[in-house]
């Protein structure tokens, strides 16, 4: 019995020791978990601090399209100046050229692009056909086209004078090429008197092919110009002639424009409220009134019932040809036949 009690005590002590060891192991595991959680939290805080520090550093801006060597900004040694294009003063609505009809701005160079995002490649434009020694308005229109082409193509040439050489080669053989030949020779030989800008070449071209009497001729044509078709065509022709005038009197042009309009358009313009005070407003009102009249005329039922006027002469002509082919006996049978004796009487 005593031996059994001793054995039971030993087993109990063994169980107690095992329980204590298990409790100690559980406590150690819990401590390790707490340490790992603390280490993970510390690691998260350090990572957040590093990311915040990186966000405050200066960053490289996004790269735009390449500007090339010539357009790369350079550091200036002197004071900086910002150049802006000179504003263009709006001119008359009907006259783009006053004085010299072949006008070219004094400075034809385009400003350099300010930055990569604002830079746009100039549009491609086909060069005008060769000049064929025309004078007056035709010469002026050709020079306007070549001037616009030169604005877009200026950067493709080493210098403006090289571009002038190319323009002078666009003269057809004959009087135009004969005029250009001595100018080409002066440029090639570096003659100081040779034109070096587009403005200088414009003056030479105007002297050679411009119409010195263009203003008086345009005024004579304006005085006899009348509306023979729609008001839009009349307005276009009027503005083209007015552009050749070397003066711009709004009141005189308005009065002359009204005189050439159709009567029904003029009569409706008088009732227009408010009455147009400028030539552009007067032309706009006349075109609208003329358009309404033409729409009403096309929708007129009587006009549709009558049919084309050109059909009547055609029918009469066919009747005369048919009557000429009849014999005398067949003619006597017609209800409206008149004998030669009755015609003489």
Core vs surface per residue 324-345: b (16+ CB within 10 A) or e = eeeeeeeeeeeeeeeeeeeeee
Question: Where is average pLDDT lowest: 266-270, 284-288, 331-335?
Answer: 331-335
- Confidence check: pLDDT of 74 > 70: no
**CA within 13 Å, CB half, 105:** 12
pLDDT at 49: 72
Question: Where is average pLDDT lowest: 139-153, 232-246, 289-303?
Answer: 289-303
Closest to 284 in 3D by CA, of 257, 317, 244, 320? 257
Q: What is the mean pLDDT of the chain?
A: 76
CA–CA separation, 109 and 329 (whole Å): 90
Domain ranges of the chain: 137-209, 214-297
pLDDT at 119: 55
**CA within 13 Å, CB half, 33:** 6
Burial degree of 309 (CB within 10 A; 0-12, 13-18, 19+): exposed
How confident is residue 96, by pLDDT bands cut at 50, 70 and 90?
A: very low
- Confidence check: pLDDT of 191 > 90: yes
pLDDT at 67: 43
Geometric angle at alpha carbon 185, from 183 and 188, rounded to 5°:
110
Dihedral of alpha carbons 106, 108, 113, 118, sign: positive
How confident is residue 95, by pLDDT bands cut at 50, 70 and 90?
A: very low
Closest to 203 in 3D by CA, of 187, 183, 217, 189? 183
pLDDT at 304: 59
CA–CA separation, 217 and 342 (whole Å): 60
- Confidence check: pLDDT of 60 > 80: no
Closest to 227 in 3D by CA, of 264, 254, 270? 264
CA–CA separation, 195 and 172 (whole Å): 20
How confident is residue 315, by pLDDT bands cut at 50, 70 and 90?
A: very low
* CA of residue 231 relative to chain centroid, distance: 25
pLDDT at 46: 73
Mean pLDDT of 43-56: 70
Question: Does the model's pTM come out above 0.85?
Answer: no
Mean pLDDT of 292-311: 70
> With helix as H, strand as E and coil as C, how does the chain read?
CHHHHHHHHHHHHHHHHHHHHHHHHHHHHHHHHHHHHHHHHHHHHHHHHHHHHHHCCCCCCCCCCCCCCCCCCCCCCCCCCCCCCCCCCCCCCCCCCCCCCCCCCCCCCCCCCCCCCCCCCCCCCCCCCCECCCCCHHHHHHHHHHHHHHHHHHHHCCCHHHHHHHHHCCECCCHHHHHHHHHHHHHHCCCCCCCCCHHHHHHHHHHHHCCCCHHHHHHHHHHHCCCCCCHHHHHHHHHHHHCCCCCCCHHHHHHHHHHHCCHHHHHHHHCCCCCCCCHHHHHHHHHHHHHHHHHHHHCCHHHHHHCCCCHHHHHHHHHHHHHHCCCHHHHHCCCCCCCHHHHHC
CA–CA separation, 234 and 245 (whole Å): 17
């Amino acid at each position: 019995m005593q031996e059994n009690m001793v054995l039971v005590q030993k087993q109990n002590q063994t169980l107690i020791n095992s329980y204590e060891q298990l409790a100690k192991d559980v406590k150690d595991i819990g401590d390790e978990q707490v340490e790992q959680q603390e280490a993970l939290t510390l690691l998260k805080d350090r990572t957040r601090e590093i990311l915040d520090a990186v966000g405050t550093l200066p960053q490289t801006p996004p790269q735009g399209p390449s500007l090339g060597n010539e357009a790369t900004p350079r550091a200036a040694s002197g004071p900086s100046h910002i150049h802006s294009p000179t504003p263009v003063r709006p001119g008359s609505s009907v006259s783009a050229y006053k004085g010299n009809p072949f006008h070219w701005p004094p400075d034809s160079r385009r400003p350099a692009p300010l930055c990569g995002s604002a830079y746009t490649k100039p549009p491609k434009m086909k060069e005008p056909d060769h000049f064929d020694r025309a004078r007056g308005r035709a010469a002026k229109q050709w020079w306007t086209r070549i001037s616009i082409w030169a604005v877009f193509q200026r950067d493709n040439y080493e210098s403006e004078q090289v571009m002038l050489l190319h323009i002078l080669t666009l003269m057809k053989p004959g009087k135009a090429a004969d005029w250009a030949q001595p100018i080409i020779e002066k440029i090639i030989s570096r003659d100081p008197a040779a034109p070096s800008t587009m403005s200088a070449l414009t003056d030479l071209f105007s002297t050679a092919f411009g119409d010195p009497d263009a203003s008086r001729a345009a005024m004579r044509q304006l005085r006899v110009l009348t509306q023979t078709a729609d008001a839009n065509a009349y307005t276009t022709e009027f503005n083209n002639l007015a552009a050749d005038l070397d003066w711009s009197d709004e009141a005189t042009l308005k009065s002359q424009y009204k005189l050439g309009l159709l009567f029904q358009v003029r009569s409706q313009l008088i009732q227009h409220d408010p009455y147009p005070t400028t030539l552009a407003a007067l032309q706009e009102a006349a075109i609208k009134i003329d358009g309404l009249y033409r729409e009403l005329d096309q929708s007129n039922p009587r006009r549709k019932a009558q049919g084309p006027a050109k059909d009547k002469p055609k029918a009469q002509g066919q009747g005369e040809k048919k009557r000429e082919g009849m014999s005398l006996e067949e003619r006597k049978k017609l209800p409206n036949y008149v004998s030669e004796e009755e015609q003489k009487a």
